[in-house]
Structure 1
Amino acid sequence: MRKPVKNSLIVAGVVCLLAAAVTAGLLIWRNPFADHPECTVPGVTVGTDAASPTVELTVAQLQHASTINAVGVSRGIAERGRIIAVATAYQESTLRNRENGDRDSVGLFQQRPSQGWGTKQEILDPIYAAGRFYDALLQVDDWPDLPLTQAAQKVQQSAYPDAYAKWEPQATTLVRALSGSAPIELGCRAGGHRPTAISPDRPAPAGTDDATPQLTAALAAADAELGGLTVQDVTDEGRTATVTASLAGLTPDAAGRTLAAWAVAHGTGMNITDVVVDQQLWTDHEWRTADQALGAGLARITVAP
């Protein structure tokens, strides 16, 4: 008479164990960023082009996309080349600075030391990795006229050459939003995860003697990636700098917005709290109208105490 009860208890126990195992598996394998993007980059319309899609991504991904774009801007690479670079990194690393990959592949572009891309330490520097990608892209004949997939494949020699194409719309949004082609709307929510990759120390630009270490580090990184920055003044007990951006191929207005977008994209990792450009103010992780407009090519950056 008791056997059915016993069997029921056994079945119930097995079901509970299976449920626990499935739950544990989900906790282990679930990507903590997959369902909870930290940053939003609205689509951008340029000229008669259709609007590119809104992109949602993590703080680290946006920071890396900003770096790849900035290095391209500093080298005078046309928008098309920067879109190719960001799309390639999207496919190769999901815009994460990975220390391990297939065989000895590392970094944003999964470049291999054994194939002459540099040492592992060099490739894990996003500025170096982006620069090496652009070096190789410029060696490709007629790269601006090639489909994105073909141009990327000639650089990367991937086993999956058609995979780059699916990232072109997202890369277009990111590059245009980060390059000052329109008023800035991108931003990250409060409480986003700080990037954990270690970046090399960058030389401090002139004019930062009175800046706090945090502000100096932010301006040094901006100058290393974008170039063409001049610190006009440092105020607010060393926490705020007004900076002029003179960037190849960009109007003064676009250059100022490019620097401001870079600062917002790097804000979480570099403790940047406020950014002003044109008559836009980014504070408390939101954009609003500033009390006064800055001149063309200028951006004002403030870091936390």
Structure 2
Amino acid sequence: MREPARRPRLLSRALLGVVVLALATGGVVLGLTWLLPQRTANACTVTAEDGSTATIDADQADNAALITAVALRRELPARAASIAIATAVQESKLRNIDYGDRDSLGLFQQRPSQGWGTPEQVMDPVYATNAFYDGLVAVQGYEALPITEAAQQVQRSAYPDAYADHEPEGRAFASALSGHSPAALTCRLPMPEDEATVAEAVAGRLERDFGVAPSATTDEGVEIDAASFPGSSAATLDRYTWAAAQWSVATASVTGVTRVHVGDQVWDRSHGNDAQWTDAEPALAPGTVRVS
């Protein structure tokens, strides 16, 4: 009965010996990489025009997408979303956590005892984001203030200077998710186990985040009409189209979306760690984003 128990250990030692030999000989290590499974990153990156990048986890990007969508829905400038995202990174690492200092909760660590709402309300990311923006728009000239000053006037934090540390990712993701930086955001995600509910999930998130419904659902996917977004106009249609497209990518870890098509560009989740915006034909009509 002992012999079967030895075999796994012998096999492990043999494999270890191969790896040690490869390390000792040099150059052979690269030939062994096929033995190791390649894991998809499960992260989202924004690449700026100057080549600099900002990367956060997929669940954090999903919350950044919500925060920016609420700003667009309220017709606030991208600067408001930059401030909000930087604040949430500092307060909760951009996650909707159910704990914090004293009674602080949620994305922005708002305290029910300080009048932010009930615990249930501040744990609702839509409510919490709107509550933050309510405070922000009350700050006169917040658009021109440094992020740390604007955030501090809303949050009244014990560490007011810390918000400035997260300005780069706040600005990068707000710019992409508000459509000011087209084709700048990509996510590298593992393929979902179940794609059957994509249409329902996308419709639910569109209603929650933007207050709009899909314009059509066909065999080719769910279509989003950027012209239906609050604040969209002929002059801003291209920007809102890219906002919708990159929102679709940033929320894909939750909705299960595997492909986003906008104009003559497409993001394909099945490319894993190589997923990026690439050329696609035929081009979609202006204002249309198709997800599947």
Structure 1 residue 37: deviation in Å? 5.7
Task: Find 1:218's aligned residue among 202, 213, 226.
Answer: 202
Q: CA deviation at 1:164?
A: 0.4
Shift in alpha-carbon separation, 1:53–1:170, aligned structure 2, 3 A: farther
Q: Does the alignment pair 1:231 with 2:214?
A: yes
2:20 alignment partner in structure 1: none
* Residues 269-284 of structure 1 aligned to structure 2 (within 5 Å): 269-283=254-268, 284=270
2:51 & 2:153 partners in 1: Cα distance? 25
Q: Secondary structure at the residue paired with 1:184?
A: coil
Match of residue 148 from structure 2: 149
Q: Distance in 2 between matches of 1:151 and 1:288?
A: 37
Q: Which runs of 5+ in 2 are unaligned?
A: 1-39
- Give aligned pairs, total: 242
Aligned to 2:84: 85
Q: Give the letter for the 2:112 counterpart.
A: P
Verify the 8 A CA contact 2:41 2:189 in the aligned structure 1: no
Q: Compared with structure 1, are the counterparts of its residues 192 and 147 closer, same or farther at alpha carbon in structure 2 (3 Å cutoff)?
A: farther
Which residues of 2 match residues 225-264 of structure 1 at below 5 A? 225-227=209-211, 229-236=212-219, 240-246=221-227, 247=229, 248=231, 251-264=236-249
Q: Distance in 2 between matches of 1:160 and 1:179?
A: 28
CA contact (8 A) 1:41 1:55 kept: yes
User: Aligned AA for 1:219?
Assistant: A
What is the Cα deviation at residue 296 of structure 1? 1.6
Corresponding residue of 1:74: 73
Which residue does the alignment assign to 1:48? none
- 5+ residue gaps, structure 1, are 1-35, 46-50, 195-211
Q: 1:183 is aligned with what amino acid?
A: P
Residue pairs, 1:1-305, within 5 angstroms:
38-45=42-49, 51=50, 53-191=52-190, 213-227=197-211, 229-236=212-219, 240-246=221-227, 247=229, 248=231, 251-283=236-268, 284-285=270-271, 286=275, 287-302=277-292
Give the structure with the higher percent helix: 2
Indicate if the aligned counterparts of 1:280 and 1:290 stay in contact, CA closer than 8 A: yes
**How far, CA to CA, are the matches of 2:232 and 2:164 in structure 1?**
26
Please report the RMSD computed on the Cα atoms of aligned residues, expressed in angstroms: 2.2
2:24 matched to which residue of 1? none
Instruction: Report deviation, 1:43.
Output: 2.9
Contact preservation (8 Å) 2:88, 2:107: yes
Amino acid at match of 1:153: Q
Q: How far, CA to CA, are the matches of 1:193 and 1:39 in structure 2? A: 14
